[in-house]
Structure formats: structure tokens, C-alpha cells
Amino acid sequence: MGLVVQKYGGSSVADAEGIKRVAKRIVDAKKAGHQVVVVVSAMGDTTDELIDLAEQVSPMPAGREFDMLLTAGERISMALLAMAIKNLGHEAQSFTGSQAGVITDSVHNKARIIDVTPGRIRTALDGGNIAIVAGFQGVSADSKDITTLGRGGSDTTAVALAAALDAEVCEIYTDVDGVFTADPRVVKKARKIDWISSEDMLELAASGSKVLLHRCVEYARRYNIPIHVRSSFSGLPGTWVSNEKPNGDEQVEHAIISGVAHDVSEAKITVVGVPDKPGEAAAIFRAIADAEINIDMIVQNVSAAATALTDISFTLPKTEGPKAIEALEKTKAAIGFDSLRYDDQIGKISLVGAGMKTNPGVTADFFKALSDAGVNIELISTSEIRISVVTRQDDVNEAVRAVHTAFGLDSDSDEAVVYGGTGR
């Protein structure tokens, strides 16, 4: 029996009852003979409440102080969790990100982990303790200031600690039963995936699947840490995410298609009437990059020969839309385009699976399924193991269901898949 890292999200520890339930689960792992390190998020809505307070005292809270404020949230949940475990007769100690040795860069509110030096965690484990660590937070190498890793950062804390401590597995407890072949709220027949490769999981996360963040999966892939995503409510086995198929488990089948993801959080900008000559596209995307906006898909139309003008479209998070429009308007004269069109009524559907590399029919089947469902395709983008299309937002749910059925992903059972937990 080796070391396991368990991570519990805010909905799992939303109140005293939740904390006590989680404490029992942790103690069970300890009783089973594991060394246990637990990463915990802030309770329920604590972080939102703290953000609200910050906005009341300052319209633009300073990054350093904002991080100091938010980290109070995990401090509360981790101390309570340690108390609840001790109340069950087991030894536990809680540690802040700084005490746990989570060293980051100095970018407040979205710091990156640059090192993990878990000496105090090792000492606590060697002393027979369960170690409880605050997720989402660290300390900057340069200034020794408290930093936070951005929303969802607790998953990254868990994987980083698992890597530094050479854990057997990083268990991510959440309020759903695992990773599904599609969002079960949209596709009633979505199936829970028993195992998915890190590579496919990365593409799903990049394509709108919310269960695991891209950064967390990327970290686990690099350090070869198996992740087990599962429900803190049901206790059922969830989804394993790892670089290789689990050892000796030949029943785990590497599906051609892992799943269908969708994303309605993006918008589309079209730059109309761009002179079709070298350097124009570069100028446009330089302006976007200088505004620190990440874009997703890019399509350039074939130039209309008569005018020698072309249109360039790209997608980006809706939240970045106004900033992008502003940045482009400023360069309008220099670039010499006609106008900008902004469209936030789009949706993206992505099909992900390493199997499509060796199955050339996948793309054709994908487009046929969409066509049969009467869904119009506006943009297309592909990688080796993913095809994404942009459609009208209103068509997204129907498109996801059609594709899910066409690729044989529907569960055999007619019963709805349980989407677990509190529904949060």
C-alpha cells in the first residue's frame, strides 16, 4: 500500500456535515493501509463571498492582497477537516500551500507552480499523520508572498504534490461520477468512461469538458501520475486518466472515440475585407496577442479574385470579446480592413479520440451525423486526435446527441446516467 493524494472540491466540503463525511472517507483510506495526503478547496461559496467583499472595498483589488484574502478560504476548510479527522481518532495536521512547499512564480491570481518541496508533509506522514494541504495556493519564490493558482488550481496542487511525493494515484473527488462520453446534462445516454488516455483527456479539457482542467491533466501527463476522478458522494469507481492503460487490465479497451465535448463559452470575430497580401493576417493576430488574448480557431476565406479582399474569422472566450474588438479597432487604419463582425451565438462541438489517427472514416462520419441532424457547420478545425466544428449555439445540444449516437457511444441502458452529487 502506497501513498495516495486525495483532492476534495468546495461542494464536497460545503458545510460541517460535508466535512465530516469527507473525513470518514479519508480515514477509510488510511485504515486500508495508505499514507494519505489530502488537498482541499475552500468551503462551498466561501471564495465567491470573499471576492464580493473585496469588490465592496475596492473596484480593482491589488493582486497580492487579493491572493492573501482568497487563501483564507482553504485555511478554514483544511483546519476544520483536520479537526474532524482527529475527532475520528486519527492523527491529522493541516498545512498551507507555503508550509507544504508549493513554490510558484510571482504572477498573482494565476501563479504557476515551479517547484514542490514537501519536507513538512513527509515528516507529518512519517509521524503517522494524515496531511491536509490547502489547495489553490502557494508562495512565490522571489518575494515570499502568498500566491493563488487561479480557479480550479486545487486540482493542480493535488497533482503536483502527487508528483513530488511519488504517489500511486491522485484521486480527484468531485460531485460527478467521473468523465463521461458527453455532458450527461445534454446527452442522457452518455456513458461514464472507465479509462481515458491523458492525451485524449487533454483534448476533451481543451474542448469544453469541465471535469478536469487542462493544466492539471498536462501536469499529470508530464510526471506520469495516474488520476482517478470520482464522486465524493457515491463512492463508486470513477474514471482513470493515465498515460498508459492500467497494468494487466486488458479488459480496459482503448476506444476509437473517447467522447464528444461541447463549449458555448466562445464568440466569433470576423475581420471583413482584409487586403489579401502577405503580412495582413500577422498584423491582426499581433494586435490580439499584444492585448494578451488567447484565441482558439482561425479560418481565412478564399479571396474573392475580383476584389483581392478576404475575410478572417477566429474564435475566443466571450469574456475577451470586448478587449479584442477594442484592440482591433485601434489598428484598423494600419491594417486597412473594412469592418468587424462579432457573434456570440456560436457553439463548438468536438470529437476526441486517439483512434481517429488510424481510422480515416471518422471525419466523414462526423460531418454526415451533423448533416443528418440538419446542423450547419460554420468553421472547422482539426488536430491529430480531435475534430472541432463551430455551429449556431441553438444547434449545439442536438448536434452533440447526434454525434454521440452516430459513434456508438450511447449507453446500452435506457436509464438516464446518474449525474451524481448535489447537482452543483
Note whether 124 binds its own copies by CB under 8 A: no
Note whether 19 binds its own copies by CB under 8 A: yes
Asked if 91 contacts 127 with a C-beta cutoff of 8 angstroms, the reply is: yes
User: Closer CB to its own copies, residue 133 or residue 196?
Assistant: 133
Options 51-59, 257-265, 314-322, 377-385: segment touching its own copies (CB under 8 A)? 51-59
Helix, strand, or coil here: 145?
Answer: coil
Helix, strand, or coil here: 199?
Answer: helix
Question: How many residues in the chain?
Answer: 424
What would the DSSP string read from start to end of 361-411? Answer: THHHHHHHHHHHTTPPP-EEEEETTEEEEEEEGGGHHHHHHHHHHHTT-S-
| Shortest distance (Å) from residue 90 CB to its own copies | 12
Angstrom CA distances, 60 to 2, 54, 63, 385, stand at 46, 9, 9, 41
User: Closer CB to its own copies, residue 15 or residue 394?
Assistant: 15
N-to-C CA span, the chain? 33
Note the helical H segments in 165-252.
Answer: 198-206, 214-223
Note whether 56 binds its own copies by CB under 8 A: yes
- CA dist 256 and 148 (Å) reads 38
| Shortest distance (Å) from residue 59 CB to its own copies | 7
Binding mask 137-176 for its own copies (x = CB under 8 A): -------x--------------------------------
User: Closer CB to its own copies, residue 137 or residue 207?
Assistant: 137
Note whether 117 binds its own copies by CB under 8 A: no
Burial class (CB in 10 A: 0-12, 13-18, 19+), 388: buried
Binding mask 60-99 for its own copies (x = CB under 8 A): xxx-xxx-xx-xxx-xx-xxxxxxx-xx----xxx----x
- CA dist 22 and 410 (Å) reads 32
Q: Which of 3, 5, 14, 23 binds its own copies (CB under 8 A)?
A: 23
User: Closer CB to its own copies, residue 101 or residue 420?
Assistant: 101
| Shortest distance (Å) from residue 86 CB to its own copies | 5
Q: How many residues bind its own copies (CB under 8 A)?
A: 39
Which residues, in sequence order, are CB contacts of 133 under 8 Å at separation 6+? 37, 38, 39, 40, 78, 94, 95, 97, 100, 102, 121, 157, 161
Binding mask 239-268 for its own copies (x = CB under 8 A): ------------------------------
| Shortest distance (Å) from residue 324 CB to its own copies | 28
User: Closer CB to its own copies, residue 21 or residue 245?
Assistant: 21
* Interaction site with its own copies (CB under 8 A): 16, 19-20, 23, 50, 53-54, 56-62, 64-66, 68-69, 71-73, 75-76, 78-84, 86-87, 92-94, 99, 120, 144
